[in-house]
Every structure is written in C-alpha cells, then in structure tokens.
C-alpha cells in the first residue's frame, strides 16, 4: 500500500471550502500536502458540484502544468528494514560430550534388545543421538555446516520403546539467553553426502529404526508438520535422489 502525499482537505466546517475557479460557488475542496499541511495551489482541487460543475484539477495536472515532477508523489510508504537475526547455535562440545553413556539411555537400552549393541552405538553416534540426565535421549539437530541448532530431549520406556510424556529442548535446559531458534531436520548433517539416497521419516525414533533396518539410506526426520513444509524446498533442489516415507511402529 502506498502513502498518498497529496489528498483533498478534510471538511472541518465552512472555512475549509473555497470558491470554485470554474463555477465560483463556495463548494471547492483544495488539495493539501500531507507532509506540510499546506495547500498545493488555489486551483488544485475538486468542486463538490459534481453534476453541475465537475471541476477537478488534480495534483498530477498541477505538476505537469508547471513542468516538473512532484516530489514524493504517491511515495510508497517507507518501512524500516527488518533486522535479520542469525540463527543461534549451541556449543558443539556440549553435543559431543553427550554421545556416550548409552547404558544409561533408555532409548539405547531398548534398541539393543532388537539389534546388536555395536551397530546401535554406531548408528546413534552417526546420527548425533545423545544421552541426558535421567536416562533421557537427545536428538540433536545439526545442519550441513556442522552447526548445532538445538536438541530435542525425550524420555522413553526401555522395555517398550514408547515415549514417556517428557519432552524438552536443549536450548531451554541450558538456559540460552536471547536464543533465536531455527530448526533443521534431524539428520540434516548427513545431506552433505549426495551419493546416498535419502529417506524421510516423521519422527526421530522412526529415522533411527530406518537407519538400523535400511542402512543404505541416509535418514532424516521432519519431527513436526511445520518442518515437513521444508521438504519441497530440498526436493526442488534435487538433494533427494529417492523419497521414502515410513511409519515404523514398535
């Protein structure tokens, strides 16, 4: 929307109506410069006797008559440029320190009931799945530059591998101030390898099961409906050589 600099003067009583240059009746409304609140000219305006007089001399006609362009005529409203704050990141050392202690991680414990422990440990470390206090699991979100955006912290039942109610975020737990969260897909760091087909799961747990069952793919998880909208962006850039959706239920 544009800001109109020159507009017809608002009616504020008889003093704001003037004699028309054509019909000479006191039914003439003059144009006002909204930046200075001054009239544009004595003859730039419109007669309110539309049918009987119809005099209308516009600001454009005024400037054309005087041989120069209006200053800021129909000037677009100036808006301050938004300050783009870069995404915040978590210290990578914090993530690396969590990639251990899997025997106190309920999710890892449960996985070893279905797969060899060595393979489970390899997959968890490759996908940056860490351990947190209270036998909880951290699914770190790391972009292709190796920057740690955040980590989703969840609690699982080691016997059923079902998620228990708890869910939190690493940047909340570590009390990061003024944190500008910009999520990436879980497993996004694996997208640097364009030689391997990529498969997509809805949740982080399913992505790990996919990696264990079908290691020939690089698995990522969208994690939420909002993040799933980003799939088309990556697909349009031909990062995915294959597209798989999988619902792995345990």
Per-residue pLDDT tens digits for 199-220: 999 899 999 999 999 999 999 9
**Band of the pLDDT at 230, cuts 50, 70, 90?**
low
Handedness of CA 134, 135, 139, 140 (dihedral sign): positive
Bridge partners for 142 per DSSP = 148
Q: Which two tokens stand for residue 26?
A: 């006191």
Q: Domain coordinates of the chain in residue numbers? A: 6-65, 92-246
pLDDT tens per residue, range 38-51:
998 899 999 988 88
Instruction: Name the residue with higher pLDDT: 68 or 196.
Output: 196
Cα(126)–Cα(122) distance, integer angstroms: 6
pTM: 0.63
């Amino acid at each position: 929307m544009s800001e109109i600099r020159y507009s017809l003067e608002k009616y504020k009583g008889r003093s704001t109506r003037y004699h028309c240059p054509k019909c000479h009746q006191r039914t003439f409304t003059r144009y006002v410069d909204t930046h200075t609140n001054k009239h544009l000219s004595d003859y730039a305006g419109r007669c309110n006797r539309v049918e009987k007089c119809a005099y209308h001399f516009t600001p454009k006609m005024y400037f054309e008559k005087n041989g120069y362009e209006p200053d800021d005529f129909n000037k677009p409203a100036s808006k301050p440029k938004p300050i783009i704050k870069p995404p915040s990141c978590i210290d990578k050392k914090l993530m690396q320190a969590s990639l251990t202690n899997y025997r106190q991680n309920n999710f890892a414990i449960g996985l070893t009931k279905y797969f060899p422990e060595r393979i489970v440990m390899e997959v968890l470390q490759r996908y940056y799945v860490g351990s947190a206090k209270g036998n909880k699991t951290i699914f770190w979100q790391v972009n292709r530059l190796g920057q740690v955006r955040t980590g989703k912290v969840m609690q699982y039942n080691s016997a059923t591998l079902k998620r228990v109610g708890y869910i939190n975020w690493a940047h909340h737990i570590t009390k990061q101030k003024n944190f500008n969260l910009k999520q990436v897909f879980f497993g996004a760091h694996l997208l640097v390898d364009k030689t391997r087909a990529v498969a997509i799961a809805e949740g982080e747990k399913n992505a790990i099961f996919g990696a264990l069952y079908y290691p020939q793919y690089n698995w990522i998880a969208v994690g939420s409906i909002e993040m799933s909208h980003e799939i088309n962006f990556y697909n349009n850039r031909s990062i995915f050589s294959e597209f798989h959706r999988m619902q792995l239920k345990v």
